[in-house]
């Protein structure tokens, strides 16, 4: 389960956090929601004929097509995409025939260490290969949550001009009691873009919810899709193994820092997103809390996922 929201950026009692891998018993209770509706009213492609989407499963990924991203894969299949699981290093042969590469929360599963500093999970050769592949027309969807996923994926993000933050970003309480943050077009935290606008009015996204991730900074130009508000703060734990954040945890103000961006790279495209649960559909904890596209306040998250893939596939923009 994602961390409990702090009382506010002032640093008042933050309490104990249970993050995806810090509290293993809770993580084990994140199960797929069997009642999630993955259907798509008007599929972009006839069934099984769309672009090939490869979902990485070779880098200690917490979210994979056969696991916690089962709903993610189901939505894309319903839209006509062909889904595969990547179980090997990212080299030219592994990416041959792939249209969209999805990497979600690497470095968080399968014996991954939460000790600081977080070690990169991608080799220099893999980073160079993925960058070149995108420049030549590939499409990358890189999704990295709060620490340690942000640190594990930092080298790959840097190759695209994005500096990931290996911590936890929180906006102010919105009064709903729901973990995470709400981004809306009305308050400017959700930005106009072919991804958020969609191909027509029924695909327009005006509000989504994420479930506690990271904000990041831009080193190169990119289009911001989601950004935190004026009161956002990022907490930077110095002892990941403790599993706690409190008033002593170092923090930096993060007003308007991006939470999701899109950019064109040579002949290809990339989308980088700072939270992974938003595109899952899970039941978390002993009370089976809905977390992801199945949450009532995340009704447009599924459409945003489709819009991202449509843009990466060249259907929009």
Q: What percent of the chain has pLDDT over 90?
A: 79
Residue 12 scores a pLDDT above 80 = no
| pLDDT tens profile 158-200 | 999 999 999 999 987 666 666 789 999 999 999 999 999 999 9
Q: For residue 175, what pLDDT is reported?
A: 61
- Cβ–Cβ < 8 Å for 95, 137: no
Supply the DSSP string of 256-302, one letter for each residue.
T-EEEEEEEETTEEEEEES-SGGG-EEEETTTTEEEETTSGGGTTHH
Coil, helix or strand at residue 246 = coil
| pLDDT tens profile 94-108 | 999 999 999 999 999
Closest by alpha carbon to 154, among 125, 116, 127, 188? 127
Closest by alpha carbon to 290, among 61, 30, 105, 76? 30
Coil, helix or strand at residue 54 = strand
Q: What is the mean pLDDT of residues 57-70?
A: 96
Both structure tokens of 291 = 């977390």
* Residues facing 16 on adjacent strands: 244
Both structure tokens of 246 = 């409190």
Q: For residue 296, what pLDDT is reported?
A: 94
């Amino acid at each position: 389960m994602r961390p409990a929201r702090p009382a506010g950026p002032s640093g008042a009692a933050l309490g104990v956090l249970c993050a995806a891998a810090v509290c293993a018993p809770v993580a084990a209770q994140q199960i797929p929601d069997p009642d999630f509706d993955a259907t798509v009213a008007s599929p972009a492609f006839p069934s099984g004929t769309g672009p090939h989407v490869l979902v990485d499963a070779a880098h200690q990924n917490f979210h994979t097509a056969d696991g916690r991203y089962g709903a993610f894969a189901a939505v894309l299949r319903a839209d006509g995409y062909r889904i595969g699981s990547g179980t090997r290093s990212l080299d030219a042969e592994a990416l041959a025939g792939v249209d969209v590469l999805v990497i979600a929360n690497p470095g968080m599963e399968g014996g991954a260490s939460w000790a600081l500093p977080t070690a990169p999970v991608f080799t220099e050769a893999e980073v160079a290969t993925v960058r070149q592949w995108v420049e030549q027309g590939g499409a990358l969807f890189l999704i990295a949550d709060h620490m340690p996923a942000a640190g594990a994926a930092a080298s790959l993000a840097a190759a695209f001009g994005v500096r990931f933050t290996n911590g936890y970003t929180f906006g102010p309480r919105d009064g709903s009691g729901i973990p995470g943050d709400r981004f809306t077009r009305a308050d400017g935290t959700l930005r106009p873009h072919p991804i958020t606008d969609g191909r027509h009015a029924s695909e327009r996204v005006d509000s989504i919810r994420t479930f506690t991730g990271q904000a990041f900074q831009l080193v190169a130009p990119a289009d911001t899709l989601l950004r935190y508000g004026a009161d956002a703060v990022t907490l930077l734990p110095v002892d990941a193994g403790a599993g706690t954040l409190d008033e002593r945890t170092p923090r930096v103000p993060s007003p308007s820092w991006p939470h999701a961006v899109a950019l064109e790279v040579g002949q290809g495209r990339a989308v980088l997103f700072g939270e992974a649960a938003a595109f899952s559909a899970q039941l978390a904890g002993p009370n089976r809390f809905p977390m992801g596209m199945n949450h009532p306040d995340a009704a447009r998250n599924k459409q945003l996922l489709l819009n991202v893939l449509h843009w990466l596939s060249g259907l929009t923009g």
